[in-house]
Amino acid sequence: MSLTSRLRVILRSKSNRALTRMEDPREALDDSYEQQVRMLQQVRQGLAEVATAKKRIELQGQDMGGRYQRLADQAQEALNQGREDLARTALERRSLLEGQVAGIREQYLALAQQQAQLQDNERRLAERIAAFRTEKETMKATYAASEARVKANEAAAGLGSEMTDAGAGLDRARDRVAQMQARAAATDELLSSGALNDATAPPDADLERQLSAGATKADVDRQLHALKEARAAAGDRTPGTHARGGSDGWLSIGETPTTP
């Protein structure tokens, strides 16, 4: 073999190896998995930011709730001392504060809803990524086994680095056939298990979402019924009822008319 022919064979062999690396499905699977992991990290970062904003508003609301209660006490004390002007001032400030609390309460509830949605999205995405990772590793192992078998067959057939153009094309065709056979076997398993529609989704995810929606509606109906009963009972209260105590009592401010 002449020097020119030898160089042509070496360059062709290197180009074939580079093309094989470009067509390697294992790298594509790993890239897809890394992209999903980065997406999960972004969702978790957003969840942390929403939770932080919600907590900040909650603390602000608790401070305003404490001031709301103090103004009621000050108005009562002013009346006890015969200072109706001071009592009126305290009540005016208390009324203004009630409107401010109503505004931040809306923000708080909106953030709470966003946090719940992000938590649900994070859970479902984590489950999908875990399922994808399992499938990815299975496919990579199948591909590696097929690749090893192809190399063993090539060695047994005496194929070397000086293969002809026809031999190089045949070897690449064998690799692709082995890959497609592995993929066909994998899809056969997915068809048998009934997971072909979405191989990365958890089983019965649609039923879980519907049941969760039904449970949420039932809980909302129960809370609405409790609020109606509480409102009916509140009609018998005497003046001087204050906002509900506790760290989250500020959430009830402004929901029903109150007097100091």
**Looking at this protein, which amino acid is placed at residue 113?**
Q
Domain assignment present for 163: yes
Q: What pLDDT, on the 0 to 100 scale, is given for residue 52? A: 94
Residue 85 lies in a domain: yes
Residues 119, 216, single domain; the answer is no
- 12 CB-contact burial (10 Å; exposed 0-12 / middle 13-18 / buried 19+): middle
Structure confidence at residue 162 (pLDDT): 46
Per-residue model confidence as pLDDT tens for the chain (260 residues): 555 655 555 555 555 555 455 568 888 888 889 999 999 999 999 999 999 999 999 999 999 999 999 999 999 998 898 888 998 999 999 999 988 998 999 999 999 999 999 999 999 999 999 999 998 889 888 888 888 887 787 777 765 554 555 666 767 888 888 888 887 777 766 656 555 555 555 666 656 666 776 777 787 888 788 888 888 887 655 444 455 556 777 777 766 554 44
61 lies in some domain: yes
Residues 217 and 114 both lie in one domain:
no
Examine residue 196 and state whether it is found in any structural domain, yes or no: no
User: Same domain for 122 and 217?
Assistant: no
Whether residues 224 and 180 share a domain: the answer is: no
Burial of residue 235 (CB within 10 Å: 0-12, 13-18, 19+) is exposed
Please say whether the beta carbons of 61 and 249 come within 8 A.
no
User: Residues 154, 129: one domain?
Assistant: yes
- Note whether 186 and 98 are same-domain residues: yes
Question: Cα–Cα distance between 223 and 238 in angstroms, integer?
Answer: 25
Task: List the domain range (segments joined by +) for residue 129.
Answer: 3-191
Query: Which alpha helices (H) appear in 23-83, and where do they start and end?
Result: 25-80
User: Does any domain span residue 222?
Assistant: yes
Q: Is residue 32 part of a domain?
A: yes
Structurally, how many domains does the chain consist of? 2
Query: Do residues 68 and 100 lie in contact, with contact meaning Cβ atoms separated by under 8 Å?
Result: no
CA angle 65, 66, 71 (to 5 degrees): 95
Q: Could you tell me if 173 and 229 lie in one domain? A: no
Q: Against a cut of 0.75, is the pTM above it?
A: no
**Tokens 């980065």 found at:** 38
Q: Which runs of consecutive H residues, i.e. helices, occur in the chain?
A: 3-22, 25-80, 84-156, 165-193, 205-234
Asked if residue 104 lies in contact with residue 65, where contact means CB atoms within 8 angstroms, the answer is: no
Q: Report the C-alpha gap between 236 and 233 in whole angstroms.
A: 6
Structure tokens at 208: 């879980």
